[in-house]
Chains A and B, each alone.
Chain A
């Protein structure tokens, strides 16, 4: 087996495990069922697209609802399969594109890729890619399109279709979520560091799309420079819109600066979480649990390793590999992604930065492993030991995704169980027979799933090392 095949085999196994977990989960109710009901009522995907442009004054996300409609129509009654299947397919695509971007060619590359894979799927920012779907996980779509663009940029030769694909990726991502603009950042950053599979003209075309997007926003979206109309973390607590108005009503820039810094720190140190310094708060009250310690320690050591590798590589003029390119590109993406999150902090928004952080980790680990093959010293042995411990730590974190998804599946299932009674009591139950049938079909699919019950009989150690 070649190192490249080994890396893809391992990536496929991890993707299979994640996809199996996702497929063993009902479609979620909150932020999802209403979207599906709206999709049913819409005459076509184009109508959904244009209606979103007309009616949503706060966002420019017309592809978001159009996709929900396309999947609804393709489902032909098999809604769970369409929505969860699409989510699982996106996830597998993300893992495979991530692995492809690494261009594994040696055994050392393969080992570094293994660690990078668990950094990718074990990070807190990855949770947002799998934890929820509305009913499509648009954060994951943006990650996929950014990784696709990176692969296009890493192509060894330029071609018109590579440029066209990159332009398409940017347009699709930007019209889905605001963070989709990171596709342009990835393409430009890759070009800056010397990965020029996307040509100069391709980049010009992408910049034209970016400009068109800005113009469209000016036309369709009300100018919003005010405070967010949703809760966000600050310091040691969550603040609701009323608290935000009281504390930052006349100095929104302070909140924005905090959000940018908090988003970057969350990627680098797994703290704060959604803007709240939870680990620090519990440390101060002497209640620190392994599920808080493991992420912070593994992330902090990985970040330190990346920084040391960057310093080491810059000092050595004989290094000709792409280590520093990975680190510079991931830094560019981190900064841009943090800036995109200025309005409020939410871990899933930094999913792209999380993926690129894992790519930087790949480069750093590869340097350690390559050094170990060439030299024998106490320093090298120590570095290898640290990397091996990191591999264990990140694997434990990645295993937590199974725990999270099982707990989430049970929650979704119970939401469906309660739904008819709850909606009937609150007067939300639709009068339309077709909408009732849709809800009944989705509920039956959810209730029929035989899921483990995480509310009882939990092993004592489970909730100590993983969080749901």
Chain B
């Protein structure tokens, strides 16, 4: 009884310590048991509201207005080709929209209009309005 009770109390704590360190090791190489999605491009980083991934991608030279595929099951049941600004606008991420604008996105009128028309959120539209290119249309079809 004594040995069994000692084991019964100790084993969960040992399991915790081992699992914790294993989890950390796995997360370090990009495998997470708690969270699953790693952005594959700038549009996905915007859709996932991952500011640091956006900054890193732009620093690597990715075009902040280039459309890219956002995988199925996140914004839609189908994969979508979106600009980063459009993806951020769709998730109502006004902070991400502001970040992308700061990083040079939305200077292309067509990219700006796509973002404008993909959202009705006032906060997002306010951010976009402040950086509207002169030739960008606000009429959405």
Interface residues of A (CB under 8 A from B): 10, 13-14, 16-17, 20-21, 24, 107-108, 110-112, 114-115, 117-118, 365, 368-369, 372-374, 376, 380-381, 384, 387-388, 391-392, 395, 398-399, 402-403, 406, 413-414, 416-418, 420-421, 446-459, 462
Contact = CB atoms under 8 A, between A and B. Distances in A.
Nearest to B13: A114
Contacts of A455: 48-50
A214 B13 CA distance: 43
Interface stretch (B14-22, B78-86, B108-116): B14-22
B32 interface: yes
A418 B51 contact: yes
Contacts of A391: 8-13
A449 B52 contact: yes
Contact of B9 (A16, A20, A365, A453): A365
Given A417-B51, A453-B35, A457-B35, A10 B12 contact: no
Contact of B2 (A115, A373, A420): A373
Nearest to B20: A17
Given A369-B5, A373-B2, A417-B51, 13 more contacts: A10-B10, A17-B21, A111-B10, A114-B13, A368-B5, A388-B9, A395-B15, A402-B23, A406-B34, A413-B51, A414-B52, A452-B27, A456-B48
Given A369-B6, A399-B20, A413 B13 contact: no
Nearest to B22: A17
B1 A399 contact: no
A210 to B, nearest CB: 37
A457 B14 contact: no
A402 B32 CA distance: 12
Contacts of A112: 9
B16 A395 contact: yes
B45 to A, nearest CB: 9
Interface stretch (B61-69, B95-103, B117-125, B132-140): B95-103
A379 B85 CA distance: 65
29 contacts: A13-B18, A14-B20, A17-B24, A110-B6, A110-B10, A111-B5, A111-B10, A372-B2, A372-B5, A373-B1, A373-B2, A374-B2, A381-B1, A388-B8, A388-B9, A392-B12, A399-B20, A406-B35, A417-B51, A446-B52, A449-B52, A453-B37, A453-B39, A454-B34, A455-B48, A456-B37, A456-B49, A458-B36, A459-B34
B21 A13 contact: yes
Contacts of B33: 459
B14 A417 contact: no
A115 B50 contact: no
B17 to A, nearest CB: 4
A458 B35 contact: yes
Contact of B51 (A24, A384, A414, A459): A414
B56 interface: yes
Contacts of A373: 1-2, 5
A464 to B, nearest CB: 12
Contact of A457 (B2, B20, B36): B36
Interface of B: 1-21, 23-24, 27-28, 30, 32-39, 48-56, 74, 95, 98-99, 102
A447 B23 contact: no
8 closest residue pairs by CB, A with B: A373-B2, A417-B51, A457-B36, A457-B37, A388-B8, A13-B17, A17-B20, A114-B13
Given A10-B17, A413-B52, A446-B52, A452 B35 contact: yes
A381 B1 CA distance: 8
Contacts of B32: 452
A446 B19 CA distance: 26
Most central of B3, B4, B13, B28 by chain A CB within 10 Å: B13
A184 B18 CA distance: 37
Given A17-B17, A112-B9, A417-B99, A452 B34 contact: yes
A384 B8 contact: yes
Contacts of B20: 14, 17, 399, 402
Contacts of A369: 2, 5-6, 9
B14 A10 contact: yes
Contacts of A381: 1
Contacts of A380: 1
A451 B31 CA distance: 11
A247 B133 CA distance: 52
Nearest to A381: B1
Most central of B17, B19, B38, B51 by chain A CB within 10 Å: B17
Nearest to B19: A399
B52 A10 contact: no
Nearest to A417: B51
Contacts of A450: 30
Contacts of B7: 111
A462 B53 CA distance: 23
Contacts of A114: 9-10, 13-14
B12 A14 contact: no
A401 B39 CA distance: 25
Contact of A387 (B5, B27, B36): B5
